[in-house]
Each structure stands twice: as C-alpha cells, then as structure tokens.
C-alpha cells in the first residue's frame, strides 16, 4: 500500500504543538523576490490561514492590510507585523507593489472583491465558498482565465498529506478492482456538525452576507465527496434544512442525499452550526468525518477538514470485520494552511501550470461544481439560492 510522503517522526509535534502550529515563535527572513500579498479585511481566520503560515516561509510576505476602520487596521497590522495599512479595500488593490491578495471577507462579498482584484491584476487566494452561487463562481473562474490570474478557492484540507494519502489509498483500491470508480465506489458519508459556539450576529447566520451552514460547512463536504471518490454528483435526491429563528432563509443545519454520476451510489452529507452545546454528540462531531464505502471495504478519515490538529485514517474489511489503522501524517510546523499557501505561491511563481494540474489543486471547475451542488441542495430543501 502507498505510504504517505510525510510520516511521523521524532519531531512530530504533540497535540498542543499541532494546535499551536499557527503561532510560530519567529519569522523567517524573506527572499528578495518573495510574493507580496495584501489582505482584504482584518478577518478572524487570517492569522491561522495566512499570517502565521506566511511567517514560516521565505518566499511569501504579507505586506499590506486593508480594514474599514483605521484603528482596527492599525492595531491588527501591528499585532501581526504587517507593514502597510489601508482603510479601503480599493486602495490596497491599487497598490502596484502587491502581487496577490487574500480575500477572507464574508461570503457575500467574495464575488465583488475577487472581481475587482482580478481586474487590478492581482492573483487571488479566496476563502471558501468562492461566491454566493454557481453563476457568480463561474464568472470569477472565466475572468481569471481571461486575465491569466491564479485564483485558488481555499479548500486547505486538500493540500495536507493525510488528505492526499486518503485519496491515494482509495484510488489504489479502485485500480485494484478495474480502475473505474463508478464500478467500485458504493457510497460516501460526510459530516461536519459543530456545537453552537458562534453568536447569532456572526456572518455565517447573515442572509445578506450569503450565510448558512451549507455555504460554510456544506461546501467542504461537497468538495470532499468529489475529491475523495473522483466522482461528480449527478443529482440531489433529497435535502432538508432547519433554519435559524431570526431568518427562515438561513440554514443552521442541513442534510442531503445525492447520487454519484454514472452510479447508483449515494453520497450523504450532514452539516450543522447549531448543535446543542451540552450534548456529547455535538462535541464528538467536532471531528468531521468522511467514510467511503466499496464492496468489501470502508475507508474512514476522521477530522478530514483540520487533519494537522488530529486525524485517524482506517480501513475496515467488511468480510472479516478487521479494522486497520494506517499511520498518521503530521509534520513539524505544518498546518493545512501552510501547505495550501506553499501551493498557491508555487502556482503564481512558476507559471507553468504544474501546480494547477495536480489533484490537490482546486480547479475552477471544482469550485463551480461545488457551488452548483450547494445551490441544488438549497433548491431541493425549499430554500433560496444566495444572491
């Protein structure tokens, strides 16, 4: 069986070390030609997803931040060692000394600001979901192509060796059984259900900002179904969503059953942002799961969305009932976000399309397909597609 490229070693960090990966003690010196990134907004996710990983790499530097409030911009920039600040996103985009931008704005602002960034000639690392709906996503993908811009939707989990390994062992199994996933994959189940720890006024519960559990977490599950099985989704067979008390257009939780293209196999997804705080199951489900079933095996990857914090990968033999736990893939100082940032920088710097040809890369077609399925799930559940 394939071995992951990264295996545990004496230097593998312990649990605290892995949680703390986001906070390097020192920043490495930058190469003269380091990619210069500007960040749009003082987003909460950015220290983990960009700022701290960038400190560990010599070929990328976060050189500017734009935030709408001057005090917030200055305080955030000081805290994270960002040299320049702007109080308008437009001003940052007009800075000729910025090569690329990171866009961690609320979902509903992804389309407008990514479009402006592309038109300003900046490469874009764009937070998921790429836009509010599939039409907007396709618009961004087309524009980036026309302008020769690297656009990456930040499905960071795909770049981690554990995710790559999980994909490889499923592909190997498919190859052993004739090579056609349509004949081998019998089903997939994926779930991310989080306890209700975020406030009612969070961007995730805001219709105007394209919130909802499917937009926030469903996008991971749909993307993972395609990434791990190698199959597209043909139809949404059933879907139900529970909306939040303040807005009957915004899903707090949802589930759906989908048919995989060219098969009778079903994909099931469950997502929630509102699990009761005091139930064991809601904390247990903090470990997002993906389970792929074939005729004779069940492949399980626990914590697939944040594998650098913790993961297990195991293979159940349905005939013998024997479960084999495979090795873990932790690497000192590496989070999913750091692997993702490295890939983004390579794609921009190398301009040879090699990075974008890898299965880890989130292609424009992947982004459009993920959002198309989310839109279809909303329709099936009787909820409006985001505008």
Ligand X SMILES: O=C1OC[C@@H](O)[C@H](O)[C@H]1O
Ligand Y SMILES: NC(=O)C1=CN([C@@H]2O[C@H](COP(=O)(O)OP(=O)(O)OC[C@H]3O[C@@H](n4cnc5c(N)ncnc54)[C@H](OP(=O)(O)O)[C@@H]3O)[C@@H](O)[C@H]2O)C=CC1
Which residues of the shown chain bind ligand Y in the complex (CB under 6 A)? 41-45, 49, 67-69, 72, 104-107, 109, 127-128, 154, 156, 203, 209, 216
Give the pair of three-digit tokens for residue 52: 């701290």
The CA distance from 338 to 88, in Å, is: 27
The residue among 120 and 270 lying less far from ligand X, judged by its C-beta, is 270
Selection from ligand X, ligand Y, none that 190 binds (CB < 5 to 8 A by kind) is none
With binding defined as CB under 6 A, does residue 305 bind ligand X? yes
Write down the least CB distance from residue 204 to ligand X, Å.
6
Cis peptide before 114 (omega within 30 of 0): no
> Does 153 participate in binding ligand X (rule CB under 6 A)?
no
Can you tell me the distance from the alpha carbon of 25 to that of 332, in angstroms, rounded to the nearest whole number? 13
CA distance 151 to 158: 16
In angstroms, the Cα distances linking 381 to 101, 239, 243, 271 are 35, 5, 11, 14
- The answer to whether 383 and 241 have CB atoms below 8 angstroms apart is yes
Q: How far is CA 108 from CA 100, 126, 130, 325, 385, in A?
A: 21, 12, 9, 41, 12
CA 131 to chain centre: 13
Give me the torsion for CA of 374, 378, 384, 387, rounded to 10°.
0
Which residue's CB is nearer to ligand Y, number 41 or number 282?
41
Q: How far is the CB of 90 from ligand Y (least distance, A)?
A: 12
Query: Residue 107's binding partner, choosing from ligand X, ligand Y, none, with beta-carbon cut-off 5 to 8 A by kind?
Result: ligand Y
The least CB distance from residue 134 to ligand X, in Å, is 19
> From the CB of 161, what's the least distance to ligand X, in Å?
18
Query: Are the beta carbons of 34 and 345 closer than 8 angstroms?
Result: no
Q: How far apart are CA 38 and CA 98, in angstroms?
A: 6
Q: Counting Cβ atoms within 10 Å, is residue 58 exposed (0-12), middle (13-18) or buried (19+)?
A: exposed
User: In this complex, which beta carbon is closest to ligand X, that of residue 220 or of residue 228?
Assistant: 220
Q: Report the nearest approach of ligand Y to the CB of residue 46 (Å).
A: 7
Partner interacting with residue 325 (select from ligand Y, ligand X, none; CB below 5-8 Å by kind): none
The tokens for 117 are 């960034």
Q: How many chain residues interact with ligand X (CB under 6 A)?
A: 3
Contacted entry of ligand X, ligand Y, none for residue 23, CB cut-off 5 to 8 Å set by kind: none
Nearer to ligand X, 86 or 344 (CB): 344
Of residues 263 and 371, the one with the C-beta less far from ligand Y = 371
Q: 200 contacts which partner out of ligand Y, ligand X, none, CB within 5 to 8 A by kind?
A: none
Which of 99, 216, 355, 375 is in the footprint of ligand X by CB under 6 A? Answer: 216
Q: 154 is in the binding site of which of ligand X, ligand Y, none (Cβ under 5 to 8 A by kind)?
A: ligand Y
CB of 164 or CB of 192, closer to ligand X: 192
Give the closest residue to 50 by CA, choosing from 40, 182, 141: 40
- Residue with Cβ nearer ligand X (114 or 326): 114
Cβ neighbours of 142 (radius 10 Å): 12
User: Smaller CB distance to ligand X: residue 40 or 93?
Assistant: 40
| From the list ligand X, ligand Y, none, partner contacted by residue 13 (C-beta under 5 to 8 A by kind) | none
Q: Which residue is nearest to ligand X (CB)?
A: 216
CB of 122 to ligand X, least distance (A): 22
Distance in angstroms (rounded) separating the CA atoms of residues 29 and 55: 9
From the number of C-beta atoms within 10 Å of its C-beta (0-12, 13-18, 19+), residue 85 rates as buried
**Smallest separation, CB 58 to ligand Y (Å):** 23
Task: List the single partner that 43 binds among ligand X, ligand Y, none, CB under 5 to 8 Å by kind.
Answer: ligand Y
Nearest in space to 220 (alpha carbons), one of 367, 92, 64: 367
Smallest separation, CB 214 to ligand Y (Å) = 12
Q: Least distance to ligand Y from the beta carbon of 148, Å?
A: 25
| Binding region for ligand X (CB under 6 A) | 204, 216, 305
């Amino acid at each position: 069986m394939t071995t992951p490229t990264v295996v545990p070693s004496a230097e593998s960090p312990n649990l605290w070390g892995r949680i703390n990966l986001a906070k390097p003690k020192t920043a490495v010196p930058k190469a003269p030609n380091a990619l210069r990134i500007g960040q749009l907004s003082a987003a909460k996710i950015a220290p983990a997803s960009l700022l701290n990983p960038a400190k560990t790499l010599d070929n990328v530097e976060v050189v500017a931040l734009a935030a709408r409030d001057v005090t917030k911009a200055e305080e955030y920039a000081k805290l994270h060692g960002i040299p320049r600040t702007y109080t308008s996103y437009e001003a940052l985009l007009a800075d000729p000394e910025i090569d690329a931008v990171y866009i961690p704005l609320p979902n509903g602002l992804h389309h407008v600001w990514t479009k402006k960034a592309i038109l300003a000639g900046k490469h874009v690392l764009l937070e998921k979901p790429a836009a509010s709906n599939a039409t907007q996503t396709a618009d961004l993908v087309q524009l980036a192509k026309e302008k020769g811009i690297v656009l990456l939707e930040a499905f960071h989990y795909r770049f981690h060796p554990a995710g790559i390994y999980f994909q490889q062992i499923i592909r190997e199994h498919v190859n052993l059984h004739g090579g056609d996933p349509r004949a081998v994959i019998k089903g997939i189940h994926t779930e991310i259900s989080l306890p209700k720890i975020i406030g009612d006024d969070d961007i995730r519960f805001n219709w105007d900002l394209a919130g909802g559990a499917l937009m926030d977490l469903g996008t991971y599950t749909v993307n993972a179904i395609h990434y791990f099985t190698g199959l597209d989704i043909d139809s949404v067979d059933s879907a139900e969503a529970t909306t939040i008390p303040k807005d009957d257009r915004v899903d707090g939780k949802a589930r759906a059953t989908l048919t995989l293209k060219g098969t009778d196999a079903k994909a099931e997804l469950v997502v929630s942002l509102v699990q009761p705080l005091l139930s064991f199951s809601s904390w247990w489900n903090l470990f997002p799961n993906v389970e792929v079933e074939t005729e004779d095996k069940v492949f399980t990857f626990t914590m697939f969305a944040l594998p650098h914090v913790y993961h297990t990968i195991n293979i159940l033999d349905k005939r013998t009932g024997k479960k084999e736990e495979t090795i873990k893939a932790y690497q000192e100082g590496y989070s999913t976000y750091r692997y993702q940032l490295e890939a983004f920088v390579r794609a921009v710097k190398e301009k040879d399309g090699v990075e974008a040809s890898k299965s880890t890369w989130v292609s424009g077609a992947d982004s459009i397909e993920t959002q198309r399925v989310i839109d279809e799930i909303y329709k099936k559940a009787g909820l409006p597609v985001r505008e």
